[in-house]
Amino acid sequence: MSLPDELKGKWKQHVGAAKIAWGKLTEDELLESQGQLEKLAGLVQERYAVTRDEADQQVKRFLDKTK
């Protein structure tokens, strides 16, 4: 699963919001996850010790807010 095309082009603009949502993730990690929602969800899962389903839901909620 990758970011929708309209969000891919603006990912750098959304990194700040993602940093607020997931303060334990570094800006570099967020930038590196561009276009790779699985990677972003994996980072959330790892840093916050949540299930993969919960991490996927957090990423989905974040994307819904940024549309």
Provide the CA 19 distance to its chain's centre, in angstroms.
9
Name the band, by pLDDT with cuts 50, 70 and 90, for residue 4: low
Residues 6+ apart with CB under 8 A from 45: 51, 52, 54, 55
Which tokens hold the place of 10? 């603006």
Query: In the prediction, which pLDDT does 27 show?
Result: 92
Q: Report the C-alpha gap between 19 and 23 in whole angstroms.
A: 5
> Domains of the chain: which residue ranges?
5-66
Query: In the prediction, which pLDDT does 12 show?
Result: 80
27-50 per-position pLDDT tens digit: 999 988 876 789 999 999 999 999
- pLDDT of 2 higher than 60: no
The predicted model gives 5-34 an average pLDDT of 85
Pick the CATH number of 5-66 from 1.10.1040.10, 1.10.1470.10, 3.90.480.20, 3.40.50.2000: 1.10.1470.10
- The residue with greater pLDDT, 21 or 36, is 21
Question: Can you list the pairs that 11-20 forms with residues at least 24 positions away whose Cβ atoms lie under 8 Å?
Answer: 11/35, 14/66, 17/62, 17/65, 17/66, 18/62
